[in-house]
């Protein structure tokens, strides 16, 4: 794997785990990802957000999050879409919705490595999915305490999930890993 590919992978994982720091960029190569149907018009959008793209949602359907994380329609506040991303937002007593979510990021990628290469976290393989195991620096430790990451390589894409530990415990995230497609 080239250094450039490693850098792109690390940045992709980092921005999937921490989307609020992601730069907005124009167009990615979409040729490798199958065309997705149009976004639904009857979704439960969070705030002024857009509905998620069904192609992104297909990688981790909302019912799978409900089942694995013990959430329900009663705690589901809505979905929020951005480029190649779908964020499922939940109500957790005493916490702001901005920090209580499960986010799916599935960008097109010409060359997808077999495993994540990350300078911030170590990863362990659970079935076919990689799960963040521990922080590799003291500065990354707070990020690890607030969220658990999942990473699944695909053909022409990868799927990265960032699950708030307030919504999904680490044990629940490992169950959620089995639902990634």
**pLDDT (mean) for 141-151:** 94
For residue 23, being part of any structural domain is answered with: no
Predicted confidence at residue 117, as pLDDT, reads 87
Mean per-residue pLDDT over the chain, rounded: 83
Q: How confident is the model at residue 31 (pLDDT cuts 50, 70, 90)?
A: very low
d(C-alpha 142, C-alpha 148), whole Å:
11
Please report whether residue 130 resides in a domain.
yes
Q: Is residue 76 part of a domain?
A: yes
- Does any domain span residue 33? no
Which pLDDT does position 26 carry in this prediction?
41
Domain range holding 165?
A: 3-18+44-177
> How far is Cα of residue 21 from the mean position of the Cα atoms in its chain?
15
- Mean pLDDT of all residues in 95-123: 93
Mean pLDDT, to the nearest integer, of 27-54? 67
What confidence category does residue 41 fall into, taking pLDDT thresholds of 50, 70 and 90?
A: low
Domain count, the chain: 1
**Is 53 domain-assigned?**
yes
Rg (CA), the chain: 15
Does residue 26 belong to any structural domain of this protein?
no
Q: Which of 140-164 are b and which e, b meaning 16 or more Cβ less than 10 Å from the residue's Cβ?
A: beebbeebbbbbbbbeebbbbbbbb
Confidence of residue 94 (pLDDT cuts 50, 70, 90): very high
The answer to whether residues 25 and 60 touch, using CB atoms and an 8 Å cutoff, is no
Q: What's the pLDDT score for residue 165?
A: 95
* pTM, to two decimals: 0.77
Both tokens of 151, joined, read: 């990473």
pLDDT on residue 42: 75
Percent pLDDT > 90 in the chain is 73
């Amino acid at each position: 794997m080239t250094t450039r590919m490693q850098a792109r992978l690390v940045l992709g994982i980092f921005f999937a785990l921490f989307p609020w720091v992601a730069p907005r960029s124009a167009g990615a190569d979409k040729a490798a990802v199958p065309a997705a149907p149009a976004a639904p018009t009857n979704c439960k959008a969070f705030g002024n957000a857009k509905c998620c793209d069904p192609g992104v949602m297909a990688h981790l359907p909302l019912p799978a999050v409900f089942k694995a994380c013990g959430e329900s329609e009663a705690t589901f506040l809505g979905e929020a879409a951005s480029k190649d991303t779908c964020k499922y937002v939940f109500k957790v007593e005493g916490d702001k919705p901005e920090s209580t979510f499960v986010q799916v990021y599935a960008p097109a990628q010409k060359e997808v490595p077999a495993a994540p290469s990350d300078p911030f976290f170590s990863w362990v393989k659970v079935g076919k999915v990689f799960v963040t195991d521990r922080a590799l620096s003291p500065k990354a430790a707070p990020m690890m305490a607030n969220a658990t990451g999942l990473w699944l390589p695909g053909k022409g894409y990868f799927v990265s999930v960032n699950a708030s530990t307030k919504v999904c415990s680490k044990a629940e995230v490992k169950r959620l890993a089995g639902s990634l497609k």
